[in-house]
Amino acid sequence: MSIPVIEVVVAVIIKSDGSFLLARRPESKPCGGYWEFPVGKIEPCESRPHALNRELMEELGIQIELSYPWITLFYTYPHATVRLFFYRIEKWHGEPYAKENQELSWQFADDIKVSPMLPTNVPVLRALSLPPVYQITDPTNLGIENTLIKLKNEDPASYIRLHNGGLESDYMIAKRIEDMVSFDLANYKYYGWEYFSRKIGVIQYVAMGLFEYELDKKEEKNELDRDIVGHDVYGAVRHLFRPDMEFYRYTRYKDLTKNEKQYLDNLGYHSFLNLLNPILFGKSGFKIHKDIKANLGAAHMVAPFGEFIDENIWLKYKKYNISFYLRQFHNKDNWSDGIGIGIHEYNISNKIIISLNGHYWEQPQAYSFTTSNTFKGGAVDLKIRYRFSNNDNQTIQGFSYDLGFISKTEGFLPEEVILEKHNGFRLGFTLEMIN
């Protein structure tokens, strides 16, 4: 008779001081009296992250904010074989308490004061005594494919972002053209085709699910042989819904579940918001006063946790170029808001020109696709241009050196590659030409 294999999730809950939480099994259960990490059985058709969240809420009354897959083990007991998926939990909401009257204890790997321990814990305890991070992320040494899989397991938000990296550049180029045309900093006839193609490209990519496009490509059998080429919105949605699935190069429409297809349809419909801008029809703005010109538009883009929608306003008042946006972030079932305001190409003097943008957001906690919790963040972006020449009668109208500075908290900003909190500088130059 074969021994059944039981799949369970195990929570390694770690405080900032390095201590971790252990629970004592009730005497009435198999291996009663032994100490273990909080554990729970995965129900049929349940994903591992969902099982982990459910078990911790049921047993300890906490909700996960930051976790990642860590170690997988097999162990055979007399009554069953278990496959254990250990997750490191480094941030959570609430204070753990024994909802099922189990005994709890915070311990350190080098000074464990409780016993006996379940034998499955031994290799995990050894791992806890090692540094949590090693500098082995270099694709040259690790391998590109392994790096992607490691990224998927440890930084799912950045992994999801890889599916849609090209879209962010299209979004930002289109946004830059909108700024320049709305503020009369550029003539639409020179940028119209570029702007139109970027907008249509975004729509085509996101809305492909509405037309059930099928890519007839064979998947490599070995996960490690698959590379990033071929990623698309199908793959992004598939990994949003099933973050624990193995890494795939190609995702076909028929590979998606009913819920994934429905979500994909919603993304497709929302993508047509990118057509709501008068600039597409050659209208750079509307004169609402002798000194005020205004334009407005909408945009839609995918995000590491789902999608976002922009409503934009551009105001040109005398020498002031002011932009304003409202932004709605959307994961599976929840919405949160963002706001931004900027002043563009303001001439402090004949040679010094500045642009300043401020951003504020509330986004899904840990960039989770399923959470209803949010975190707050923001950013300030400053660009200073020093113009060396201003020759109105020549082909080269002006030349300037550009210095940019950004300071941001943790959070997703489509203008920025880095999700983490950081301060950064940019250097460049601008060449202004007359066509």
Q: What confidence tens digit (pLDDT) does each residue in 73-111 have? A: 777 666 667 888 888 888 898 899 888 878 999 998 878
140 in a structural domain: no
CB atoms within 10 A of CB 28: 6
Q: Is the pLDDT of residue 317 over 90?
A: yes
Residue type for position 368: S
Q: Residue 309 belongs to what domain range?
A: 147-433
Instruction: Share the mean pLDDT of the chain.
Output: 83
318 in a structural domain: yes
Which of 68, 93, 128 is a domain's end point? Answer: 128
305 in a structural domain: yes
Which of 128, 160, 190 is a domain's end point? Answer: 128
Residues 151 and 112 reside in one and the same domain: no
Region 105-122 average pLDDT: 84
Question: What are the two backbone dihedrals, phi and then psi, of residue 33, each rounded to the nearest 5 degrees?
Answer: 90, -15
Residues 79 and 159 reside in one and the same domain: no
As beta bridge partners, residue 377 has: 361
How far is residue 312's CA from residue 324's CA, in Å, rounded to a whole number? Answer: 6
Least confident segment among 7-21, 119-133, 202-216, 271-285: 119-133
Residues 118 and 153 reside in one and the same domain: no
Among residues of the chain, what percentage have pLDDT more than 90? 29
Residues 355 and 232 reside in one and the same domain: yes
Q: Is the pLDDT of residue 435 over 70?
A: no
Closest CA to 125 of 71, 53, 55: 71
Residues 295 and 408 reside in one and the same domain: yes
Q: Is the pLDDT of residue 310 over 90?
A: yes
Query: CATH no. for residue 109?
Result: 3.90.79.10
Least confident segment among 126-130, 228-232, 314-318, 426-430: 228-232
138 in a structural domain: no
Region 292-304 average pLDDT: 93
Residues 76 and 213 reside in one and the same domain: no
pLDDT of 60 reads 92
Residues 165 and 293 reside in one and the same domain: yes
Region 178-207 average pLDDT: 87
Residues 215 and 72 reside in one and the same domain: no
Comparing 148 with 279, the larger pLDDT belongs to: 279
pLDDT of 413 reads 93
Closest CA to 284 of 256, 321, 255, 252: 321
Residues 108 and 214 reside in one and the same domain: no
317 in a structural domain: yes
pLDDT of 1 reads 44
Residues 111 and 202 reside in one and the same domain: no
Residues 113 and 34 reside in one and the same domain: yes
Residues 161 and 75 reside in one and the same domain: no
Which of 128, 157, 185 is a domain's end point? Answer: 128
135 in a structural domain: no
Comparing 226 with 327, the larger pLDDT belongs to: 327
**In this predicted model, what pLDDT tens digit does every residue of 226-245 receive, in sequence order?**
655 555 788 888 888 887 77
Q: Give the highest mean pLDDT range of 135-149, 203-217, 399-413.
A: 399-413
Looking at the structure of the chain, the number of domains it has is 2
Q: Is the pLDDT of residue 390 over 60?
A: no
384 in a structural domain: yes
